[in-house]
Structure 1
Amino acid sequence: MLDHPAWDTHQGRPVRATRTASGPWLVSALPYEATPLADATHPPIVDRYDPAIIVERPLPSGLRTALEALGPVTRLRTADLWESLATAIIRQVIRSGQARAMHRTFRSAIGQQAGPAWLIPAPEQVIGLGREVFAKLGMSFKCRPLQAAADAYLRHRGHWAELPPDVLVKEIQTIPRIGPWTAGAAVADYSGDFAFYPHADLAVRTWASRADPLTDWPDEREFAALWSTLAGPHLSTLTVLTLAWGDHHAHQSALADQGSAPD
């Protein structure tokens, strides 16, 4: 699953630079390979989500068929809470394609290079950036929330590292301009538990309807209640598999577009 906007492409292969508690890593996919940079010793965690877990749930037949055809999904968990926070803030309000482009611009302009990829700029760097730098990057409206999050992270990271996800998702909402959507997306990315992801989000609703267009899916408020009922105790798995179906669908469409593009 390559939904995270930190994934780039190098020589036709997905690559991503990320930090764990012991230092930075360069990760490649298809096949998966994690290479430590400097003296990093604790590799990133890869989570696995299996459609077999939700086979007994009362899912609409079209959605069930689509997710079963997808098969088990692996996803690289973001071990650095700051990266998860910054990524969720960049994703606020804008479309996924814009967020991916902005994320890459931010990393490549300010972040540390790690082979063919770049790390998200460290919180100390973000605090020290002038507004003119954000403006030059086309990120003026991200300046205040990113700097507020960087300041809060540096002050509370020790405490936050000890919190369970259900408490952490509330704690980080004390940061100015961090609401339930941003907090839920960040904690899901950081913990690997997508029960915290805002499951009535447009992305989930869009991919559910495209995977199963024959079902009359409700609007946002009713969708959240329906989705929880359909998932039961497997809200994380159902949500992440639906997002994975969308991620796979988007990548396949992009490859098809590239193949049909004129020389």
Structure 2
Amino acid sequence: MKTAVEAMTVLVQEHPGWTTIPGGALRFMRAGGIPLWLRWSADTIQLSRGSADATRAEIGPTVDRCESSTVNLNISLGDALAELGPVLRVRNADLWDAIGTAIIRQVIRAGQARVLYQRFCQRYGDSVKSPAESGFLFPTPEKVAGLSASAFTELGMRFKRPALTAAAEAYLSHGTHWQTLPAQDLVTALQVVPRIGPWTAGAAAADFTGNFAVYPYADLAVRTWVGRAAPDVDWPADEAGFGTLWRRLGGDRLSDLTLLTLAWGDSHARAQPLPERPGSRS
């Protein structure tokens, strides 16, 4: 089954599952346990499900859209975000993938996280075929929970093993319930897992729910992009001060403001790589 969705000007591709292909980008994910692939081109997102199960044929990811007009900033950041045009983002339909992705992103640069994520999928994830090319899904929690220490070491992911293993075991016990929680409650619930702190929980919850008001918007990455998008503004350098200002600027559109800023950063990431996050970030 294929579905064409009218595309917007910018597709946010911060998730490491997106792969650039000629004319667009490709991604594989699960939705309700069904494997599917998404292909983005200049004017459409094409969706194809790898299942003939007619009773579940409508399962698919949610596509969120926002524009700079929703935030109405009277500072230069508003002008920078307006240059993006409308923004589109595909929510992660698989909460387990969202959690695992956030763990892989801990501490390291986005480019390195993308390499580790795709390497992990290729080695231990289920394969999916599309008309464009074949790909791999994120390894299931059952698979991750059973991997040996050497399996992680061989992929250069030894330091990711404790958190991924703990999260996989917790997800097998609580994942069905976690999927029903509102974004903020999900952030709280995920932090009972060892080595999952506020940053990881917020990133995972935002990825899955599409609510970027719970994203760790005051972290170094966001502060750096904001400083580059609007260098004439005297932004607070500290996390607490920036967070207070950001909440005031965003108001009831905090999610849109954060997502638009991440979209701006994503569109500039290849030309202007970000510094690493502090090592204590979890």
TM-score of the superposition, structure 1-length normalised? 0.91
Listed as ranges, the gaps of 5+ residues in structure 1 are: 255-263
Aligned to 2:65: 48
Deviations 1:129-168 (A, max 9, x none): 1000100000000011001000000101222122222211
Q: Cα RMSD (Å) of the superposition? A: 1.5
Match of 2:236 among 218, 221, 226: 218
**Residue in structure 2 matched with residue 259 of structure 1 by the alignment:** none
| C-alpha distance in 1 between matches for 2:102 and 2:179 | 18
Give the structure 2 partner of residue 261 of structure 1. none
Residues 1:203 and 2:216 aligned together: no
- Give 1:194's aligned residue: 212
Match of 1:25 among 21, 36, 54: 36
CA contact 1:22–1:41 (8 Å) conserved in 2: no
Identity %: 48
**Paired residue for 1:14, among 25, 33, 46?**
25
The answer to whether the Cα contact below 8 Å between 1:16 and 1:28 also exists between their aligned partners in 2 is: yes
Match of 2:75 in 1: 61
SS of 1:17's equivalent in the other structure is: strand
Give the Cα separation in 2 of the matches to 1:146 and 1:122: 11
Measured in 2, the distance between the counterparts of 1:177 and 1:250 equals 27
Equivalent position of 1:237 in the other structure: 256
Q: For structure 1, which segment, 164-173 or 79-88, has the greater mean C-alpha deviation from structure 2 after superposition?
A: 164-173
Which 4+ runs in 1 deviate beyond 3 A? Answer: 251-254
Larger mean CA deviation between 183-192 and 20-29 belongs to: 20-29
**Alignment partner of 2:213: what SS?**
coil
The match for 2:169 is 151
Are the aligned partners of 1:123 and 1:151 in contact in 2 as well (CA < 8 Å)?
A: yes
The answer for unaligned runs of 5 or more in structure 2 is 1-11, 274-282
Partners of 1:60 and 1:183 in 2: how far apart?
A: 31
Task: Indicate the SS of the match to 2:139.
Answer: coil
Distance in 2 (alpha carbons) for counterparts of 1:10 and 1:113? 18
| Distance (Å, rounded) in 1 between the aligned partners of 2:138 and 2:22 | 21
User: What is the TM-score normalised by the length of structure 2?
Assistant: 0.85
Could you tell me how far 1:202 is from its partner in structure 2? 1.5
Q: What SS is found at the alignment partner of 1:236? A: helix
Match of 2:83, SS?
Answer: helix
Instruction: State the distance in 2 between where 1:248 and 1:10 align.
Output: 16
Say which of 24, 30, 36 aligns to 2:49: 36
